[in-house]
A and B are shown apart, each in its own frame.
Chain A
Amino acid sequence: MQKEQDQILGDLTSGEYKYGFYTDIEQDSIARGLSEDVIRMISAKKNEPEFMMEFRLKAYRHWLTMKMPLWAHLNIPEIDYQDKIYYSAPKQKAKLTSLDEVDPDLLETFNKLGIPLEEQKHLSGVAVDAVMDSVSVKTTFKETLAERGIIFCSFSEAVREYPDLIKKYMGSVVPYTDNYFAALNSAVFSDGSFCYIPKGVRCPMELSTYFRINAANTGQFERTLIVAEDNSYVSYMEGCTAPMRDENQLHAAIVEIVAMESAEVKYATVQNWYPGNKEGKGGVYNFVTKRGICKGDNSKISWTQVETGSAITWKYPSCILRGKNTTGEFYSVAVTNNHQQADTGTKMIHIGENSKSIIVSKGISAGVSNNSYRGLVKVLPGAQNARNFSQCDSLLLGDKCGAHTFPYIESGNQSAIIEHEATTSKIGEDQIFYCNQRGIATEDAIGLIINGYAKEVLNKLPMEFAVEAQKLLQISLEGSVG
C-alpha cells in the first residue's frame, strides 16, 4: 500500500511550468564576470549620475569583504559569481516612432505571459512596469498617475529624473551593508521600479511590476523603492517568471518601503520563477531582501506573498515598526515541490509604542522538497504595549518532504504580548477519496484543499491576482497525491 502510494507520488509529482519559453531577441550583454570595471560599465550603460556609481562601488567593495550566509535551512551549491553576466538588455529594434513604443517581440513576450502592455488591453485599474533581464521595457498608465502627483517609473529613470528622492531613500531601509545579497544587489542592480505617493493621495489603481528573466547565464538584480508620504495609500503587486534552463539562474533583489505618518502600503508578490525540473536540475536561486519601515505614527505595511517558484528561496519580507501605533503584517503561502527548497519568513521589529504585528505563514511541501518558516519577533525596550500574533502552519503532501519552523522571539519590554501558534497537517488519502466520491478528481481535490488551507492569505491578495494565484498553487502541486 505504502509502496504504491510512493509510486504514485514519485510518478506524478510533476507540475508543468507554463512560462518556460525563451524569447529569441538580440541582447546587448556584457562579458561574464564581476569587477569594478564591470560596475563602471553598467553605470555608464545606464547613463547614471556620479552618486549612483559611487554607491555601487562602495557596495561592491563591501561585498568583497563578506561571505555567503549559511544559516538558512538550505543546501546551496557553490555559486561562481565570476561566471555570471551582470548586464543584459533586450535590444529594441531601432526606429521606434515614439519613446513609449515597445518592440513587437517584447510585447508578444509579455502577452504570452498574460501581461499585455498596451494600456487599452490591460486589466482595468492596474499599472504595470515590465522589466526584462536588466532593463524596464515599459511602464503603463504613467500619465494617468502623474496627474495625481504619483511617480511610477523604472528605477533607472528615477535615478536620472528624481535623484534627490533616490539619494534620500535608496539604502535607507536596506543599507548595502545589510547582508551579502543586499551588497551584491547594490553593486550591480540593473533596474526595477520606483514609486512615490505624495501626501494625502490614495493611489487609484494597483501598481505592479512584472519581472522576466530571459537571457541565459544572466543574473537578475532588481530593486524597488516605494515611498508613501503622510496619509497616502498604495497597493503594489509583483510577479515574475523565467525560461526553463538546465543551469541555475541567479536572482538577488531588494525592495524598500517607507511609510510616513498614517500611510498604508500593501505589497503583494506572486513569485513564480522557474523551479527547476523534477530531478532538481536548473531553476532560479532567489535571494531577496525585502523590508519596510513604518516611519510615521499610525502607518501600516502589509506583505503578502505566494511563493511557488524558484529552486531555492531565501526571503524574509520584514517590517520595522518605528512609529507609534504602527502595524506590520506578513501573510505568506510558500509551496515547495520536487527538489525545491524554501527558507522564508519575516522579521517584525517593534520600536514604537502600541505597535502591532501579524504573521500568518502557510507552508505546503510536496515531493522531496524542504520548506522552512523562519521568523523573528523583536520588541525593543521602548515598544510599550507591543503586540504580535503569529500563526505558522505546515501542510505535507506525501512523506518524503520536510517542513520546519524556526520562530525566534526577543522581547525587551514586559508589557509586550507575543503569541505563537503552529500546526502541521497532512492531506489524507481518505480526504482525497471523499472528494473523489463526490465526483471531484484528485488534482482538483488537492487544489480545493490547498486553496482552503491558504484562504486566509489568498484573501489578502488584490482581486485580480487572487484567482491567478489559486490556479498557480494547484499547478505547482499537480500530481502530488497525499
Chain B
Amino acid sequence: MLVIKDLVASIEGLKILKGVSLEVKAGEVHAIMGPNGSGKSTLASILAGRDLFSVDSGSIMYNGENLLDKSPEERAKEGLFLGFQYPIEIPGVSMVNFMKTAINEMRKHRGEKPLSASEFLKKMREKKELVEIDSSLTNRSVNEGFSGGEKKKNEIFQMAMLEPKLAILDETDSGLDIDALKVVARGVNNLKSPDSATIVITHYQRLLDYIVPDFVHILYRGRIVRSGGKELAVLLEEKGYELIRQGEVNL
C-alpha cells in the first residue's frame, strides 16, 4: 500500500529526514516511536503533502502511484488520513458543515452521490457514539475552544467519519487520560480491515497495549534505526532511548 524508499527531506536547507525507508501493507498496523525532534511529524506531514518541507531525494509510492505527484486533497480523497499532532482551529466553520463537505468531496471522487442530510446525520450519530464525543463539540466550530484532549478525540471522530484506507495518527495519545486513550484505540481498531492500514506515531508504549502493532520502528535523528515486532516497544519502554544511544542498534 505504502512504500517509502530512501526519503531525504529538509526544511529551509536543514536536513530532517536522512534516508527513511518503510513499507506498509494493507491490513497492517505500524508504530513509529522516537524521541522529540526525530522527524516523526515531518514524515507524517510529507505523507500528507504539506509543502513546507522539500523532498530532496527518495520516493513514496501509494497504491502503486507516485504519492509526491498528488495534491494534499487528492491524497485525502484516495484514503490517506492524517490525525494532526496539533489540530487546527477554524473559527466560524461548524464541525457539521466541515465534515459534510469533506465526506461529500470524497464521495464525489469515488463517483458516489452526496449523502442526504438524514444519512449524514445518522452517520454522525453513530461515529459520535463510537468515539464518545460530546454533541456540544460537534455543534461548535472546528476545534475552536476545544481542550487538548477534545481536539485529539475530534481527530479520531473525523477519522471514523471519513473511513480512510491509510490512517496516520501523529501522537494522538499524547496528553490523554486512560479513558480517552481507550477511545482512540477503539477508533483505530474499529477501522481495522484487511484492506486498510494504520501508522501510529507515539511516544509511549502504553497506547500499544490497546492498539497492538504488527511492526514497531524507531525513528532517531531522521533515520529508522531499528525495526521489530511489538516487543521492541516494550524493550524501549524498559530501557528507554538509552537503547539507541548505547549503540545496540542494528543499522
Cβ contacts under 8 Å, A430 to chain B? 88
A-contact 0/1 string along B76-89, CB 8 Å cutoff: 11000110100111
Given A430-B88, A448-B101, A453-B92, A439 and B141 contact (CB-CB distance below 8 Å): no
Q: Enumerate 19 A-B pairs (CB-CB under 8 Å) in ascending A order.
A: A1-B12, A431-B90, A434-B84, A435-B98, A436-B76, A437-B73, A437-B81, A437-B84, A438-B158, A439-B105, A439-B106, A439-B162, A441-B105, A442-B73, A448-B93, A448-B101, A451-B92, A452-B141, A453-B92
Given A430-B88, A448-B101, A438 and B162 contact (CB-CB distance below 8 Å): yes
Which residues of A (281-336) have their CB < 8 Å from a CB of B?
none
B-contact 0/1 string along A1-43, CB 8 Å cutoff: 1001000000000000000000000000000000000000000
Please measure, in the bound complex, the distance between the C-alpha atom of A441 and the C-alpha atom of B77, giving whole angstroms.
10
Pair A431/B88 contact, Cβ less than 8 Å: yes
Q: In the complex, which range does the number of interface residues on chain B fall in? A: 20 to 34
Please measure, in the bound complex, the distance between the C-alpha atom of A438 and the C-alpha atom of B162, giving whole angstroms.
8
Please measure, in the bound complex, the distance between the C-alpha atom of A448 and the C-alpha atom of B73, giving whole angstroms.
15
Please measure, in the bound complex, the distance between the C-alpha atom of A452 and the C-alpha atom of B91, giving whole angstroms.
7
Cβ contacts under 8 Å, A435 to chain B? 90, 98
Pair B101/A433 contact, Cβ less than 8 Å: no
Pair A436/B73 contact, Cβ less than 8 Å: yes
Q: Which of A433, A436, A439 has the most CB of B within 10 A?
A: A439
A108 within 8 A of B: no
Given A1-B52, A448-B97, A455 and B92 contact (CB-CB distance below 8 Å): yes
Cβ contacts under 8 Å, A452 to chain B? 90-94, 97, 141
Please measure, in the bound complex, the distance between the C-alpha atom of A125 and the C-alpha atom of B50, giving whole angstroms.
48
Pair B90/A438 contact, Cβ less than 8 Å: no
Chain A min CB distance to B21 (Å): 24
Instruction: Identify the 7 closest CB pairs spanning chains A and B, nearest first.
Output: A452-B92, A436-B72, A438-B102, A452-B93, A439-B76, A434-B88, A439-B105
B122 within 8 A of A: no
Given A434-B84, A448-B98, A439 and B93 contact (CB-CB distance below 8 Å): no
Pair B84/A440 contact, Cβ less than 8 Å: no
**Majority SS of interface residues in chain B?**
mixed
Pair B84/A439 contact, Cβ less than 8 Å: no
Q: In the complex, which range does the number of interface residues on chain A fall in? A: 20 to 34
Closest chain B residue to A423 by CB distance?
B91
Cβ contacts under 8 Å, B200 to chain A? none
Chain B min CB distance to A423 (Å): 10
Closest chain A residue to B93 by CB distance?
A452
Given A439-B77, A439-B102, A433 and B50 contact (CB-CB distance below 8 Å): yes
Please measure, in the bound complex, the distance between the C-alpha atom of A453 and the C-alpha atom of B71, giving whole angstroms.
26
Q: Out of B84, B91, B106, which one reaches A453, CB within 8 Å?
A: B91
Closest chain B residue to A425 by CB distance?
B91
Cβ contacts under 8 Å, B109 to chain A? 439
Which residues of A (437-469) have their CB < 8 Å from a CB of B?
437-442, 444, 448-449, 451-453, 455
Cβ contacts under 8 Å, A448 to chain B? 90, 93, 97-98, 101
Q: Which of B92, B101, B141 has the most CB of A within 10 A?
A: B92
A-contact 0/1 string along B143-165, CB 8 Å cutoff: 00000000000000010001000
